[in-house]
Chains A and B, each alone.
Chain A
């Protein structure tokens, strides 16, 4: 079982690499180089703030775009091209296929994020000339970004398991946008009354709370991240991604592959 999941995951990773997904790193490297040079020339005492903000936001956006646009095709493309037929006619359970695909894309995003993180730290070193102890919190922000990727990937897989790539992209991207403002949505729900309050509260807790996973601004200001938040976010992201993955498996287990 583990071996089959591992084989599917490594094949998914290999597909992403050979389909030149990691070429986005070139665009990211150019962005960070340009930003570092520009910020170094025009900013006064806020170089670090700008580079960290810009760098981590770019890491997040690049990764989310990859998670959505590869995630939505993970299942539907395999059905459309019939490559799934020769996989599922082997001793591979449908849930193993979904979980393998998830880990394959998650692995791709982790490797992508690793190289982007090197880019962020290189740009930071260029503008600051030396690292500070508080720069370590950037690693926590990057960890939270990876947790966001896990959630977005699992949602893309969930939508991919029952709808077309286009609709899956729309659903996943909408949830990413709404989830980025989940805290605001919860605030709005608290102010609402009657049925609206119930509906808004339900919606606020249903969408992924990606805003809680965004600590870019605080680490850019060299503020620490509490260990309770790290633990809570880890548990929340893993549970949310796990539930979305379970949903994808439940739907896919019953789906006719016409």
Chain B
């Protein structure tokens, strides 16, 4: 475990952080076997962190129960290929939810299942409390596919008007709505330009504009920052935060962890079609390894305390030492005995990237062993 953040906090508060990283199962009672994908439902390796995962009452924005997709591949002799193992997931209204995973993990398949573009092999999903193919629901959702391609013979204004028409936006407010959305995504000056003349960044803005033109409650973005320059990514992030402030729910897939860490209330990690973990970002990045970092003024680790220290770093007078959580009291007592001035005691917080790699790497290793 690397020390990734230096966050001086009160010692008493730091002590309370530990011990909440329990590996709760999302559905403890479920054990029906899903033979096709070779996993036991309810006993997957997905860690569910904190109360926010499944214990919140009220209507969920998205509720997925055992959603599974197996494709038949091949021309003559069809062989089954599992794209998504039975997935249970609940996304609450008003949150930004990140769906993380490497390429080919099953993120887009999940989104396609939720959009009704592909049909599940088994399982169900509800959006805003209704079946996913309900037109009432579809009028309330906006979708930005990965690397969107739109009708390039249309201008940006015509494209948005077309989508607004299909979403049932009243003719009386349609033009005003389109104008407003074009302004919002910064395409006002390109409103009458055909999309075939758009750059990739402009196309992504047009994609976001079409997703929000009908003022949906729930937004699905598939890799919304993909291919954007830093400024474009920042703008998309700002827009997503604005949407959240407006009370909308945003579900987005990404493999850019820094975006997820900066934006999401909760994230789920998926790999090889299987959910590997779900929880609040703050919980996932809190101390899960039971280690703390102690900093004091002194210039070296006293010989009597060396056995407690896992790793230490000296910079001038400042010493930072990584110790096991259960040895923190002994360490603090020892430092006081030595008359050294304690500066801070900080729980080691892993980054989302570290959490992600921990969740994803074991299966990558086993995949490598199989091949």
In the bound complex, CA of A7 to CA of B150 (Å): 16
Q: Are A89's CB and B138's CB within 8 A?
A: yes
List CB contacts (< 8 Å) of B104-118 with chain A.
112, 115-118
- Is A193's CB within 8 Å of the partner chain B? no
CB distance from A167 to the nearest CB of B (A): 13
In the bound complex, CA of A89 to CA of B220 (Å): 10
| A82 cross-chain contacts in B, Cβ below 8 A | 145, 147-149
- Contacts A82-B148, A86-B150; is A257 near B117 (CB within 8 Å)? yes
How would residues 165 to 204 of chain B score, 1 for a CB under 8 Å from any chain A CB and 0 otherwise? 1111000000000000000000000000000000000000
- Contacts A7-B162, A91-B168; is A86 near B153 (CB within 8 Å)? no
- Is A87's CB within 8 Å of the partner chain B? yes
Q: Are B115's CB and A83's CB within 8 A?
A: no
Segment touching B, from A13-21, A134-142, A232-240: A13-21
List CB contacts (< 8 Å) of A1-19 with chain B.
3-4, 7-8, 11, 14-15, 18-19
In the bound complex, CA of A8 to CA of B144 (Å): 19
List CB contacts (< 8 Å) of B218-241 with chain A.
220
Partner of A83, one of B116, B136, B149: B149
List CB contacts (< 8 Å) of B129-151 with chain A.
135-136, 138-139, 141-145, 147-151
Q: What is the interface residue range for chain B against chain A?
A: 20 to 34
In the bound complex, CA of A229 to CA of B115 (Å): 47
| B116 cross-chain contacts in A, Cβ below 8 A | 88-89
**Supplied contacts A86-B143, A90-B167, A92-B166, 13 more A-B pairs, CB within 8 Å:** A8-B166, A18-B153, A82-B149, A86-B148, A86-B150, A86-B163, A89-B143, A90-B139, A90-B163, A90-B214, A91-B166, A256-B71, A257-B117
Residues of chain B at the chain A interface (Cβ within 8 Å): 71, 112, 115-119, 135-136, 138-139, 141-145, 147-151, 153-154, 162-163, 165-168, 207, 210-211, 214, 220
Closest 6 A/B residue pairs (Cβ): A91-B135, A89-B143, A18-B153, A256-B118, A91-B138, A257-B117
